[in-house]
Structure 1
Amino acid sequence: MIKTKKQILLVFIVLLQFCNSNKQNSKFDLLNSMKTEGYKYVLVLPDAGCLSCIDATEIFVKENKDNFKDFGLVFSGTISPKSISNRLGSDILTKPYVYFDSINSFRIDYEMTIYPQIIYLEGDRIIFKEVSPYQTGSLDSLKLVMGF
């Protein structure tokens, strides 16, 4: 009986790891396809988390949405398109750089963050930075490298 419980536990762990790796792969698949499309930066907005950080990032998007070049915007989680258009303007949903992460590939439990993320797609590297109180100036740095 103990051997059977160990086997079940092992199968469960393998399946859990497989599911997590599929989500992680989907995140990198999306980022790699965005890189192929010519994007150099990706901004990920979670559906919940640090409210002041999300608000600051939404203000950044609202003020600069017509000037984005080489830029992707990913809404992660269960954010409703109606809510997004109410906050950021109805035209945001028609922008070619907007993506919806409906499978939550940017919200894996062991990597979950409550902060928006800035992702730099530099050559073969992908660099993640958070827009958080602990990394002040993240949006200013993004504006600088984007030429704003």
Structure 2
Amino acid sequence: MYGALDYTKYRATCRAFLQNIESGTYFAATSALVLNEIIHKLILAETTKTYHLRSESEARKLIEDKPETISSLARVWKTYAVIRAYPLVIHSIYKATMDMATDLSSRYGLFISDASHLAVMKMNGISNIATNDNDFQLAEDISIYKP
């Protein structure tokens, strides 16, 4: 997310991480849910910037009032194309994934979105996650890598 948004504080670290994925140093996987979250955030960020709004809340309101605003965006769609071209596996979310996610949410006190990410990892034998989200520290059997 930070790489896509050019978030200054973590830009260098994230770019280096992405280059390691491109070079094959790291195997990368994500889920359709993560892509959904990224695109959603990018839509709000680009709308905020393009229309000189003060906050993403204002962007959300603008889009609700004028849905055609999304059609005027360009960077988000280019960024999505770049993400899709990366050498990464995109895992789907299935009913069994959500069943596991609800269990993990209850067990570890995670929001369902975080529990869903964890469920995708567990169902696909993934034990490492690159995230800046401290909530994953509650889960067992995973290694967390922060920017």
RCO (CA 8 Å, sep 6+): is it higher in 1 or 2?
1
Whose Rg is larger? 1
Instruction: Using structure 2 for the length normalisation, give the TM-score.
Output: 0.30
The structure where strand makes up a greater share of residues is: 1
The structure where helix makes up a greater share of residues is: 2
